[in-house]
Homo-oligomer: A and B are copies of this chain.
Amino acid sequence: MSTVRLLNDDELSPQAREVFADIRATRQSDVVNNFWRALAHDPVTLKRTWESVKAVMGPGALDPKVKEMIYIAVSVAHGCPYCIHSHTAGARAKGMTDAEYAELVAVIGMASETNRLVTALGVPIDAAFEVS
């Protein structure tokens, strides 16, 4: 089930090959997962996307594990099973415990419920929540 063939290492263009090398170096792993193999048909988007992901998910003010959990939350709300599976694996690899995962799932469920209650009722934003 895919709209493009996944490319193996022998089929990459020179530009895609460079991106794959950087993925392997950055992650210190030989595995390049299917997302990049599907995206490799378009080396320009491959390169732009990888560089953005590397910049956004790298060290910063937030714990990388927390970033993965936020990624999971967005992926669940967007209904992307691939993304949920890959970032759940990623969060676990970065130390997410079973207890943290259970709370993450509970918060996602709770937010989904109140999001839709608010939308159904058309609740107007409290003045106190406005910035300007």
Contacts and interface: CB of A to CB of B under 8 A. Distances in A.
Interface of A: 1-6, 31, 33-35, 38-39, 41-42, 44-45, 48-49, 52-53, 55-57, 60-62, 66-67, 69-89, 97-100, 102-126, 128-132
Which 7 A-B residue pairs are closest in the complex by CB-CB distance?
A77-B77, A74-B111, A113-B113, A42-B102, A61-B99, A85-B129, A112-B116
Most buried by B among A78, A79, A110: A110
Question: Assembly of this chain: how many copies?
Answer: 6
Contacts of A38: 118, 121-123
Nearest to A121: B38
A34 B123 contact: yes
B1 A110 contact: no
B82 A35 contact: no
Contacts of A123: 2, 6, 34-35, 38, 82
Contacts of A57: 107, 110
A85 B3 contact: yes
